[in-house]
Structure 1
């Protein structure tokens, strides 16, 4: 009977008509997951919230910075903190005294134990702790300056840049809060996933014979993932990408280019490392089917049509360089030696040295990655205007009116009981951030390289990109990296200043991500009926703490680990290779040192990539027009040109084997399981996503401190290699090019 009742409830909430919108959500995934009740008596900002939240935040910031420089970077996700703090919170509720305590010299009182540990406390603790996962880009800047440019970079500069760029993003969130939090159709799939996991941890779940409860399911999956991850993380790292084609044709460059899952097209390659896939590509369980399908159409078009045709027709001497690489190359096919063209004192390009050395060349994949990135930028803007422009305008007109209770769904009506965040809070954060930043840009001019006008330009563009990014995050769980347009714009405005580009990116891209992060958490609080002011306060406190710890730990690692981020000088099996930092460094060289005028237009070889700006606009307008002509064709309505164009921008550091694994899991669970086994999907899908991250996170902590902290990196055998045993995949195939370890073609 219990099982039939659950099935009936799911069926009832799936059968939904437009007239019922005010009593539930118009989005089926929300109806199946989010409760439509609230207990306003539950305490929120309690003693337990602050103690557990602050300590978890500091721990998570330390661990994520410590693990970020790894070959396969792993972040300790919020799910680990959710489980640990659940037990800690219940222990505190069972043991601490309930006596009221008065703060000396004030009228404030609090209780160390206000009752049972509740879901609202748990959410706020996790939000505060998760702030530790948000690494400020200033740490990346500090890394590339110290390691790759071999210059000093003050930790004070990194701290100021990190804190302000993150806090100012919270101000931007306030501008769009009504549109992206109150609107029922802006449903934020990632937040729905979190709701499911919290409910699994807190709500009583009666075990049905032959099945397991949600809590039991979390434990089983967590233990299984912990046990399994010993294999790819210690005994057999090569299992992350099994490229069978390379093993069969060991001496064929072409075969390895086709078969390598890490440095080629990945045909016949299999990835058995969920954690690495998750960190490079994203969460497949949260991604709506239309988002996955659009992503894979763009991925196949890019990697299996355009790139092979361009490479094997030797377009722009593509065969002189690797097929799949983010590195920069000279005319001889070798990696570009930046020190030969760099003025070390001013950190700018020496044009005379550049002319006597070589132009900068890109691999064919990297060149088309930029082309797709440019198309994606204009597609995002065009899509937002055409598909969401009218509704956005209507919401802005109503910004200062509270229509939540009258016109909203059940969640808006329940949230109307809580005080919303005053707009002046957001404006104060923006103003204070600007006031602090302006003198910093003047005082630390040599290390930041960004003029004051650049700050205001970053603020203006960030507001635009925050809106665009929120549209896709709230409807498709799809984010967009705006680095490509930021680098291009500032490189033309401030040529030859690589640090200016990264500083601008901090005040633009990172601030945008922080705004989206706050909006996502406000939506989570919206679903679970948590006061918005409490979420805002928790998040601001968390980000201030996070900046201090990330900068401090980053400085410590850079100062103590010998040859960190230099793979050729590290001992075998050492994980400190910094793949993401290498990609950022290459970006600063090509956009900041060399500049787009020499690489793209008007003097570069890759001027044709700018044509794709128009491609993005034309394709989006065409898709929008088709959706109006054929309003009843679901597959046409599901076309999203920005999502279709976005996947290539993930590569590298993402590689084909991880993209295929992500798509396979997403299609299986969000299309097949959702349609055929909806009851199972509603109960277990999102908590499966969370539990798969828990086990590996705990294992990595154990291994990092017990083994790698003592320079023990694993069993010394063939499977210890972090690659996929396709050494020839990175070789050029043009005649006469001599590269160490590669055959010479004649």
Structure 2
């Protein structure tokens, strides 16, 4: 018999690959089979206990509690000037403490509901139970994209979709990706090459917490435990945030350069962090900085900061001083609002029919056409650059990896060790996913037809086809490289040509087309986390669906409460003098709907118009990474691949609504943590960074929630208290104040035309 030299196992393949790469292979013959991906091999255990129960009474209680808190906080910050988040690290820590406590005190009695029996206390709080709680909460702790549609129609079109229609819209946009997830899981979850890098951090975190000896013996500063360290810094940030968020909001918009000449129009336009370009502005509000600056890759952050600095700290001042494209005519340098050429506000509502479609005759009779501010128009150009540059960068720098992973994903006979280990659990039948997808698609068509969203059934089909075509390659790139483009601008563009003059249809098409891909990506990433943690697929499905339902309900409840309490500040009728509440996010969403939907890309971006240049963004974005690739061939020792034009372009268009108050602080934190601590004190960095980031983010988020519920009247007008008036809490009343806004920069009434 002829001796075969073909590799017979995954270990043989791994050895050959390492040898081909010139790396030393030193594997013991008795070493157990493991992943061929080094990072996964280092952090993901290859052990499992199938007897561990995931869906328990503790799961239902804790996932409900934290899902409510997370969805409320995210929805709250949707309407705030300063952004915030609900840290999953806090959920992991707090659910661990509460879960272990419940395991000690709950009785072991069983209860039965409809033939389903469950024990109140099935035993010790285990790692799988812990992980499904985190997965449910991460699914819930967001602001559903459909909230944008509901907010826009309520604030700007004065039409509130009833509760039933609103909830169906939220659930269908969030759940349409489930069916896609089922069809794509074997390509984007099961292969070892589909790493989904962010999950590795979670795997380490869960395993560290449940390794009892290490978790309890590893001490922090002053001998504190992990939990004590977390709560001390979380509590400290909770107290501190009352100053910039309530007592002294000027510290959130510290326009110190503007104070040199606060009533100079040019100084205001360039340096005001509230209404202007925010150059060199500071913020002492942690929600404007964020804990991710402490641990995100340095090269990616520097690319983002480079884009922001070039666009807002260099281009904007030059455009403003030279009055490029009549920038000063619109008074505010950064806003998503539309204007006439003389600088007066353009309200598309004045040109809509009763069904909210554009009345073309009325619009043409107006003579003057709608215009964007220069940097808002450039924002669309930058988004096209980012999309094309992302695809081009991956092709020229990662093509070999992608092709290899693609072949593995569609036909490799050598399964990943973790995929083999998951065979012990019953899989969810593909028919379940297909049936769920059909139901969600039918409900999506129904809600668009019945509730006046202007999107016909065939338009929904086109949105789904677009999502199906682009989800697989985009998610594959994200799983392998950690970055993938979005579909929001592309969906707007396609629908704008397909259904011109229909702004609500454009929002609905964008929401369904974009969210089908985005939600599918989120669910696939969670499935990979479940894959690493050896969580049964059916438990994964239950946790994901449960989080989606709870999050959607409380997103809607909080949205209604905030709109009813803060409507004048959100719809632009009145600017919040305290600088806390804003309708910037829905304004951007509505501005895009006007541009791509009501007016249509044929008008706004015609080749002979003012903004025809935006389409060149596709060409420029495709070429720039190729130039870097050519340079990498000539000077291979230079890490050209770290210059990512997709991230740079994303930074250049990151602030279409202004409020550039956190850039300087974020840059300082990034440089301190990534350039100094990581380089010279790596042990300290690895020990404290992630837990400190989680503590600070969580403390700041809880301050905002506390203020909303108990101070600012979010629940009831009876619970509304004004902060004392002093120099750091300046508020003008009836336009008679000396300064225009909270950053004490700009005149409240000396400039011709005032501020729109």
Provide TM-score, normalisation by structure 1. 0.85
User: What is the distance in 1 between the residues matched to 2:279 and 2:26?
Assistant: 48
2:279 to 267, 271, 296: 267
User: What is the distance in 1 between the residues matched to 2:360 and 2:190?
Assistant: 53
Contact 1:221 / 1:692 at 8 angstroms: preserved in 2?
A: yes
Q: Quote the offset at 1:504 in angstroms.
A: 0.6
CA-to-aligned-CA distance 1:373-418 (integer Å, 9 cap, x gap): 1112222333444455565555555556575xx454x655655655
User: What is the distance in 2 between the residues matched to 1:175 and 1:224?
Assistant: 46
Q: Does 1:170 align with 2:183?
A: no
Alignment correspondent of 2:735: none
Alignment correspondent of 1:554: 559
1:69 to 76, 79, 82: 79
Runs of 5+ unmatched residues, structure 1: 1-15
Q: Does 1:258 align with 2:270?
A: yes
Q: Does 1:190 align with 2:204?
A: no
Contact 1:375 / 1:645 at 8 angstroms: preserved in 2?
A: yes
Q: Quote the offset at 1:464 in angstroms.
A: 4.2
1:113 to 121, 129, 136: 121
1:330-345 paired onto structure 2 within 5 Å: 330-345=340-355
User: What is the distance in 2 between the residues matched to 1:635 and 1:731?
Assistant: 52
1:586-625 paired onto structure 2 within 5 Å: 586-602=591-607, 604-625=609-630
Alignment correspondent of 1:287: 296
Alignment correspondent of 1:10: none
CA-to-aligned-CA distance 1:80-136 (integer Å, 9 cap, x gap): 4434433332232112222455556x4x54322111112321221122233332332
User: What is the distance in 2 between the residues matched to 1:708 and 1:201?
Assistant: 37
Q: Does 1:240 align with 2:252?
A: yes
Alignment correspondent of 1:329: 339
Q: Quote the offset at 1:542 in angstroms.
A: 2.1
Q: Does 1:214 align with 2:219?
A: no
Q: Quote the offset at 1:495 in angstroms.
A: 0.9
Q: Quote the offset at 1:190 in angstroms.
A: 3.5
1:551-700 paired onto structure 2 within 5 Å: 551-559=556-564, 563=568, 565-569=570-574, 572-573=577-578, 575-602=580-607, 604-628=609-633, 630=635, 632-653=636-657, 655-700=659-704
2:134 to 114, 126, 129: 126
Q: Quote the offset at 1:75 in angstroms.
A: 4.1
- Name the Cα RMSD after superposition: 3.5
CA-to-aligned-CA distance 1:220-277 (integer Å, 9 cap, x gap): 3212221221211221122123111111211222223332334444333222222233
Task: Evaluate the alpha carbon distance shift between residue 562 and residue 729 of structure 1 in structure 2; reply closer, same or farther with a 3 A threshold.
Answer: closer
Contact 2:155 / 2:570 at 8 angstroms: preserved in 1?
A: yes
Task: Evaluate the alpha carbon distance shift between residue 427 and residue 111 of structure 1 in structure 2; reply closer, same or farther with a 3 A threshold.
Answer: same
Task: Evaluate the alpha carbon distance shift between residue 623 and residue 440 of structure 1 in structure 2; reply closer, same or farther with a 3 A threshold.
Answer: same
Contact 1:78 / 1:130 at 8 angstroms: preserved in 2?
A: yes
Task: Evaluate the alpha carbon distance shift between residue 546 and residue 361 of structure 1 in structure 2; reply closer, same or farther with a 3 A threshold.
Answer: same
User: What is the distance in 2 between the residues matched to 1:212 and 1:193?
Assistant: 23
Task: Evaluate the alpha carbon distance shift between residue 571 and residue 266 of structure 1 in structure 2; reply closer, same or farther with a 3 A threshold.
Answer: closer
User: What is the distance in 1 between the residues matched to 2:110 and 2:59?
Assistant: 16
Alignment correspondent of 2:161: 153
CA-to-aligned-CA distance 1:475-498 (integer Å, 9 cap, x gap): 665564432222222112211100
Q: Does 1:42 align with 2:56?
A: no
Task: Evaluate the alpha carbon distance shift between residue 24 and residue 720 of structure 1 in structure 2; reply closer, same or farther with a 3 A threshold.
Answer: farther
Alignment correspondent of 1:429: 436
Q: Quote the offset at 1:164 in angstroms.
A: 1.3
Contact 1:200 / 1:687 at 8 angstroms: preserved in 2?
A: no
Alignment correspondent of 1:533: 538
Task: Evaluate the alpha carbon distance shift between residue 431 and residue 193 of structure 1 in structure 2; reply closer, same or farther with a 3 A threshold.
Answer: same
Contact 1:462 / 1:509 at 8 angstroms: preserved in 2?
A: yes
Alignment correspondent of 1:4: none
Contact 1:259 / 1:265 at 8 angstroms: preserved in 2?
A: yes
Alignment correspondent of 2:378: 368
Contact 1:287 / 1:477 at 8 angstroms: preserved in 2?
A: no
User: What is the distance in 2 between the residues matched to 1:269 and 1:308?
Assistant: 14
User: What is the distance in 2 between the residues matched to 1:495 and 1:413?
Assistant: 50
CA-to-aligned-CA distance 1:534-555 (integer Å, 9 cap, x gap): 2222102321333333334434
Task: Evaluate the alpha carbon distance shift between residue 551 and residue 334 of structure 1 in structure 2; reply closer, same or farther with a 3 A threshold.
Answer: same
User: What is the distance in 2 between the residues matched to 1:177 and 1:721?
Assistant: 54
Contact 1:222 / 1:691 at 8 angstroms: preserved in 2?
A: yes
2:752 to 731, 734, 738: 738
Q: Quote the offset at 1:23 in angstroms.
A: 4.7
Contact 2:311 / 2:653 at 8 angstroms: preserved in 1?
A: no
Task: Evaluate the alpha carbon distance shift between residue 103 and residue 330 of structure 1 in structure 2; reply closer, same or farther with a 3 A threshold.
Answer: closer
SS at match of 2:170: helix
SS at match of 2:143: coil
2:468 to 452, 458, 463: 463
Task: Evaluate the alpha carbon distance shift between residue 741 and residue 288 of structure 1 in structure 2; reply closer, same or farther with a 3 A threshold.
Answer: closer
1:713-732 paired onto structure 2 within 5 Å: 713-720=722-729, 725=743, 727-728=745-746
1:380-529 paired onto structure 2 within 5 Å: 380-387=390-397, 391-392=401-402, 395=405, 399=409, 403=413, 406=414, 408=416, 415=422, 418-419=425-426, 421-444=428-451, 447-467=452-472, 469-470=474-475, 473-474=478-479, 478=483, 480-529=485-534
Task: Evaluate the alpha carbon distance shift between residue 69 and residue 629 of structure 1 in structure 2; reply closer, same or farther with a 3 A threshold.
Answer: same
Q: Quote the offset at 1:368 in angstroms.
A: 1.4
Q: Quote the offset at 1:25 in angstroms.
A: 7.4
Q: Quote the offset at 1:371 in angstroms.
A: 1.0
SS at match of 1:110: strand
User: What is the distance in 1 between the residues matched to 2:372 and 2:562?
Assistant: 31
User: What is the distance in 2 between the residues matched to 1:212 and 1:460?
Assistant: 54
User: What is the distance in 1 between the residues matched to 2:203 and 2:611?
Assistant: 46
User: What is the distance in 2 between the residues matched to 1:355 and 1:626?
Assistant: 54
User: What is the distance in 2 between the residues matched to 1:229 and 1:176?
Assistant: 43
Range moving further from structure 2, 69-78 or 532-541: 69-78
Provide TM-score, normalisation by structure 2. 0.84
CA-to-aligned-CA distance 1:556-597 (integer Å, 9 cap, x gap): 544565536135447754844322112212222222222222
Task: Evaluate the alpha carbon distance shift between residue 380 and residue 510 of structure 1 in structure 2; reply closer, same or farther with a 3 A threshold.
Answer: same
Q: Quote the offset at 1:432 in angstroms.
A: 2.6
Q: Does 1:705 align with 2:709?
A: yes
SS at match of 1:82: helix
Contact 2:341 / 2:371 at 8 angstroms: preserved in 1?
A: yes
Task: Evaluate the alpha carbon distance shift between residue 419 and residue 741 of structure 1 in structure 2; reply closer, same or farther with a 3 A threshold.
Answer: closer
